Structure 1
Amino acid sequence: MNIVKQPAIKNETQTIRPLSVDEVCALEKCSPPLLTIGNRIVWLSDNGPEFGYIKWLGKLPDVGPDWMAGVHFDNPVGSGTGIYNDYQLFDAPVYHASLVPVIGLLRAEDFTGDPPPSSALSSSLVAAVITNNIGNENSSSSSNRNNTISDRSKQYDASRITCDIPPLSTHDDLKYLCGKARGIQGHHNSCYLDATLFAMFSYTTIFESLLHRPQSSSDIAEYSEVQKVLKEEIVNPLRANLYVSADRVMHLRTLLEKLTSVRGLTSEEKDPEEFLNLLLNQILKADPYLKLSSGLESYFYQLFVDKDEKLVLPTVQQLFDQSFLASDFKLREIPPCLLLQMPRFGRQFKMYPRIVPSLYLDISDVLDNSPRQCSICGELAEFECKECFGQFGEGLDSTAFCQKCLDKSHAHKKRAKHKTTKLNIPTEFILCIETSHYVAFVKCGSGPDAPWCFFDSMADRNGEQDGYNIPEVTLFQNLRWWLSDEGTALLLTTKDDKLLPEMTRRLLCDAYMCMYQSPDLMMYR
């Protein structure tokens, strides 16, 4: 598109020319945004959805690095005519033209319902629509016009929100979060990252320190840049707008590929632990969440177990107990965050066809030097006998004895040669994989009755090779029932996975990583 210079309007300050989409792509050697000129779009304003057509695409160098769209709205929305800095970007009747950050727009065909009220999606967070005095011939001066635009965009640009936005927390939040064009948009094999980021930052607060730790002398030079992109372009828009476009995620992927030795981060399939290792360990240098009695420290714990043929439908708790029993490790302290990788190797091999996620994980018996209950009388335990595992109950608590019960139980010839207070931490999210595609189940709030949602960054698609993915968040109403005794009984009689509801099947058959944490346990750290 050729930008026409209008007759000069007197202005003492030198104006900076807007750049069209073709100019930006040529100068920056980048891809254009997913929206294109001519697209029918909708902007979710405080007063309801506003529809229009994109008439111009490009960037405003004096405003910021984000893609902007010149929109001809159907209804009056501002006071513009398509002129910016004395340049005619596009033609539109007065009051119908606005410059809007691309991230604040949805394709009209993707819009399926009413917008959230202003309490959930306020104009200061969601829209960042730059409507004030764009090309308004009645405004007092060109200088005032440009200052208004610049100031609003820097403070409220929907694609770069600088203020602190808390995680979602209420049932009302979930009501607006569910639907199409919600969550993080997938693009070019980004599902490993989309699902992980959505799970980490939509509802839980455990990873907030990653967004706020100041840069230190030991950090890489680009530390603040990565942190800023993560917080202002992904986490904050997710929480405020309930949507993050693929180009924002691509910005983070490009930075990670540039700063690390891992290739293919912008185009190839990766695993969540690869991404988390880069982000937590190499870039942001978070303290390891897991500290073992062996001296090892890590961000994850891989469940290594020998397959037990008697376990038809194992729970995460059972696999957790078995893994720690076999490893001879203990936890040196209560982990603020426990990321458990299920016993599966690669994208295909699964040790168990189904694994039941434990909504609460009892870590009492794997804490080093922690008080434990005798498995027989319930008094304070002083001894542990691994050979007694499973003989006086289930799980690792069956190995703990007081002196009296140890002597009595081991007086039996079968056990003659054998050389607590509960700490339950709740699960917060579960990452799943099926045929190289990652999705997430996320607990939406705190407490035992908190609802759960299912997120897929590529749930739907518009178009073929040149199309785009549409993310979706869905309420999973029956998750707790399927994990109850009644649900487990039905699972045991339903052998064919294809007979299970889709979300239930994906939860039980495709579990890849579970995250457990509780804010109440942070006091122990």
Structure 2
Amino acid sequence: MEPQTVVGEKFFIVIRGKSRKGFSRGCIGRAEAETQRGELTGPLYGGGPAGAGAPKSGGAVRREDTYPLTRHQAQLLLFVANSSKRLELLCNPQLFSAICELSRDDLVLVRHKKGHVPGLVKNLMQVGRKDSQADLLMLGFEVEFVEDGQNLSSKKPAPLPVFSAADIVQVVPSHNVPLGVHWRDGKSEGLNRKAVTRIHSMPSIGSRARKAAESRVIQHPRLDEVRERLEVGSMVEVESNTGIIVYGVIRWMGVPRGKTDQWAGIELDYEVNGCSDGKYGGQRLFTCRGNRALFVPVTKCSADSRFPCSSTDTEPLRAPETPPVLPFEDSDRDAPPVPESEATSLLVGRMKGIQGHINSCYLDAALFSLFGSSVTVDAICQKPADTERPLTCTLRTIINRLRRHGFVPAECVMNFRRQLGCDSFRTDEKDPEEFITVLFQKVLCIEPLLKLRSEGETSQGTYTLQIFLEKEQIGQMPTVQQLLDASCLTGNLKFEAVPSCLIVQMPRFGNKYKMFSHIIPSTELDITDLLYNSPRECFVCGRLAEFECVQCLPDQRLQPGRIKQYCTTCNTQVHTHPSRGSHAARALAAPADAAAVAPVSRQALQLFAVLCIHTSHYVSFVKYGSDPHSWLFFDSMADRCGDDQTGYNIPEIRACPEVGDFLCRREEGPARADPLQAPELVRRLLCDSYMFLYQNPATPLSRPDPGEP
């Protein structure tokens, strides 16, 4: 029998893996021992009213497939009967932390069969029968609804309904509620209450002191000044017709069809009946989950009052605290890429991805692009960590945090920047290509990704490929394929071999100059005609090509933007045309044993990520699976809580299937489409693209084993 190590009382929830030895995703357990293989063993608890918190069975689960919980957190989650709802709540650390710290008379918004209803927390209830000391009793909240015409101090006679943590969709702490706030709506009759057994109620939840701020009104800037500052990404609140305030983030701003004034499309923090998934008037303006898109005039929006931005009081407001991050316990085993089926539940949401700090967006976006879901670059993490290289170990910790918990706190990235050893990497904004070169060369010890051969037959290695060409050589809205072909043909550059990873940098410089206003992403990049000493097909007849012509590249009669390569016969015929008489075709290098007539095997790379820049801020789009619509948008600094000195950045990951919708069209279609009519994230992809990342799954990256010369 395998020896076990006894551990103290540790609760956990299973976040990854299939059902195994009694455990499955969303189950809650208590670790009683840990095996030498790193598995936690102990009882599994039933949830919901029927489970009553009694242990049901025992089992074993890998430590890296679990997320640690305190007893209080475990008891709150145990009362949530649906395991998927538990994981959904856990994926919103800000909301879950606020629920765990609720105090008496805190204002909350709870799910009700008639919608979302405001109420006051009155008691924390222990649910179930305590048969033994080992039982894990469930916890729920006794909530008093706020009725029409009543203020926050009103009372209602008992009994009060009991709600689980998953029923709470919004928390407004007592000391942040301005005086004079009145809620309308919120009828409580007809609530389908759970059949529970109350052991006792706690008269006060938590120990939060009532401050002087509770007796004064928080002064906000004038509403018209606030609205002038609202933009896409702003956190706002809107008061509904029934008096309930809803919160969300602006995802779109503009003038809808049939309107004359400015409107805002808001992605709400929770579902509300009657809302859409981002469509308005039959037109898709952005994409989000169903029943979360609200469209209102901008004049109806106000800055989110949960994060007050100014006060006229002499006593300063309490500095915001960074949301608590449970300790991360590293493992000898590296976390694999997140499966496509689990990516959205693990990664999508606020406080997801890599948290930005002090101009780190160039690094955050590059790391998420490379390791967020890529299979090719995953090979660099397959080998044992080199303990003599702290940089490698720190990078592995970042990747494992991202893949196991979906969130990397800012201190991890700052530690990585400090270890890079360069002051500019620690504090200043850098270019992604500079960081990527250092990452592959110094941290991962990988040979240059590309070997390029120039006209002088010299070979040079590089990690990224910069596009250089004249604007007149190509159309106004080129594809990445056209840009790559034109650039390599103009510079007479060839790939010595098919690269495992190709990072293409667009013809733009920072946020001040870009050669093309829009660039169409090519989901596949065919480099067959850019390989050195490789057989190529004649552009006209398909026989073995022996010449290529740079001057034919923009020819409107010969598919402009396509590489023109010819056999000897076609080269002569094409260049007898008077308009091509001055062209100078150059001979191609081809294998001596190449057949004159034989099919050429095409070599194509697949797009897996795009880095974008706008006003010096980097974000990224990443493909997380094989489905054409499996795209994520990541912003390490999507929002901020608090000021520059005491606050913290809020990273966010959004699913963006609309990007897949756009890329699924034939390239000629998107090129003719008006980018201004595309959804917000598609416009951002077309206008702000900076680097396109392609991979060849057949030839994964590799690096030397630790200790190899």
TM-score, structure 1 length as denominator? 0.65
1:259-278 counterparts in 2 under 5 A?
A: 262-278=422-438
How far off is 1:44 after superposition? Answer: 6.1
How far off is 1:454 after superposition? Answer: 0.5
Q: Secondary structure at the match of 2:425?
A: coil
Whichever structure has more helix as a proportion of its residues is 1
Pairing partner for 1:106 from 80, 90, 93: 93
| Counterpart contact for 1:481–1:487, Cα < 8 Å | no
Residue type at the aligned position of 2:636: S
Q: 1:162-216: per-residue Cα shift (whole Å, max 9, x none)?
A: 3121112323323432112211111111111111111111211222343356799
Q: Secondary structure at the match of 2:430?
A: coil
Question: Which shows bigger deviation, 357-366 or 278-287?
Answer: 278-287
Residue type at the aligned position of 1:508: L
State yes or no: 1:481 paired with 2:661: yes
Evaluate the alpha carbon distance shift between residue 177 and residue 74 of structure 1 in structure 2; reply closer, same or farther with a 3 A threshold: closer
Evaluate the alpha carbon distance shift between residue 174 and residue 515 of structure 1 in structure 2; reply closer, same or farther with a 3 A threshold: same
Q: 1:150-170: per-residue Cα shift (whole Å, max 9, x none)?
A: xxxxxx962533312111232
Pairing partner for 1:288 from 437, 443, 448: 448
Pairing partner for 2:688 from 510, 516, 520: 510
Partner of 1:303: 467
Q: Secondary structure at the match of 2:655?
A: strand
| Counterpart contact for 1:458–1:469, Cα < 8 Å | yes
Q: 1:342-366: per-residue Cα shift (whole Å, max 9, x none)?
A: 1101222111111111111111111
1:10-49 counterparts in 2 under 5 A?
A: none
1:115-264 counterparts in 2 under 5 A?
A: 158-212=328-382, 224-231=389-396, 233-256=397-420, 258=421, 262-264=422-424
State yes or no: 1:456 paired with 2:642: no
Q: Secondary structure at the match of 1:508?
A: helix
Distance in structure 1 (CA, Å) of the matches to 2:329 and 2:436 = 23
| Counterpart contact for 1:159–1:237, Cα < 8 Å | no
Q: Secondary structure at the match of 1:196?
A: helix
Q: Percent identity?
A: 37
Pairing partner for 2:605 from 404, 425, 430: 425
Distance in structure 2 (CA, Å) of the matches to 1:160 and 1:272 = 28
How far off is 1:446 after superposition? Answer: 3.1
Q: Secondary structure at the match of 1:73?
A: helix
How far off is 1:426 after superposition? Answer: 1.1
Across the aligned residues of Structure 1 and Structure 2, the Cα RMSD in angstroms comes to: 3.6
Residue type at the aligned position of 2:432: P
Structure 2 unaligned residues grouped into runs of 5+: 1-10, 16-24, 29-67, 77-89, 100-132, 135-325, 585-599, 704-709
Question: Which shows bigger deviation, 394-403 or 335-344?
Answer: 394-403
Q: Secondary structure at the match of 1:425?
A: strand
Pairing partner for 2:500 from 329, 332, 336: 336
Evaluate the alpha carbon distance shift between residue 395 and residue 207 of structure 1 in structure 2; reply closer, same or farther with a 3 A threshold: farther
Distance in structure 2 (CA, Å) of the matches to 1:177 and 1:286 = 28
Residue type at the aligned position of 1:475: A
| Counterpart contact for 1:375–1:393, Cα < 8 Å | no
Distance in structure 2 (CA, Å) of the matches to 1:176 and 1:74 = 19
State yes or no: 1:470 paired with 2:470: no
Residue type at the aligned position of 2:662: W
Evaluate the alpha carbon distance shift between residue 159 and residue 307 of structure 1 in structure 2; reply closer, same or farther with a 3 A threshold: farther
Distance in structure 2 (CA, Å) of the matches to 1:463 and 1:473 = 21
Q: Secondary structure at the match of 1:160?
A: coil
Evaluate the alpha carbon distance shift between residue 459 and residue 413 of structure 1 in structure 2; reply closer, same or farther with a 3 A threshold: closer
1:355-374 counterparts in 2 under 5 A?
A: 355-374=519-538
Evaluate the alpha carbon distance shift between residue 297 and residue 414 of structure 1 in structure 2; reply closer, same or farther with a 3 A threshold: same
Structure 1 unaligned residues grouped into runs of 5+: 1-41, 51-68, 78-102, 113-137, 140-155, 217-221
How far off is 1:287 after superposition? Answer: 0.7
Partner of 2:300: none
How far off is 1:443 after superposition? Answer: 0.7
| Counterpart contact for 2:522–2:667, Cα < 8 Å | no
Evaluate the alpha carbon distance shift between residue 197 and residue 415 of structure 1 in structure 2; reply closer, same or farther with a 3 A threshold: same
Distance in structure 2 (CA, Å) of the matches to 1:368 and 1:480 = 33
Q: Secondary structure at the match of 1:269?
A: coil
| Counterpart contact for 2:552–2:558, Cα < 8 Å | no
Distance in structure 2 (CA, Å) of the matches to 1:195 and 1:245 = 14
Q: 1:6-45: per-residue Cα shift (whole Å, max 9, x none)?
A: xxxxxxxxxxxxxxxxxxxxxxxxxxxxxxxxxxxx9866
Whichever structure has more strand as a proportion of its residues is 2
How far off is 1:482 after superposition? Answer: 2.4
Point out the structure with max Rg over C-alpha: 2
Q: Secondary structure at the match of 2:610?
A: strand
Q: Secondary structure at the match of 1:432?
A: strand
Q: Secondary structure at the match of 2:635?
A: strand
| Counterpart contact for 1:430–1:513, Cα < 8 Å | yes
State yes or no: 1:410 paired with 2:580: no
TM-score, structure 2 length as denominator? 0.49
1:307-318 counterparts in 2 under 5 A?
A: 307-308=471-472, 311-318=475-482
Distance in structure 2 (CA, Å) of the matches to 1:278 and 1:513 = 16
Q: 1:412-436: per-residue Cα shift (whole Å, max 9, x none)?
A: 4544554344322111100001111
Evaluate the alpha carbon distance shift between residue 72 and residue 108 of structure 1 in structure 2; reply closer, same or farther with a 3 A threshold: farther
Residue type at the aligned position of 2:650: I
How far off is 1:264 after superposition? Answer: 2.7
Partner of 2:163: none
| Counterpart contact for 1:432–1:510, Cα < 8 Å | yes
Partner of 1:382: 546
Evaluate the alpha carbon distance shift between residue 75 and residue 371 of structure 1 in structure 2; reply closer, same or farther with a 3 A threshold: closer
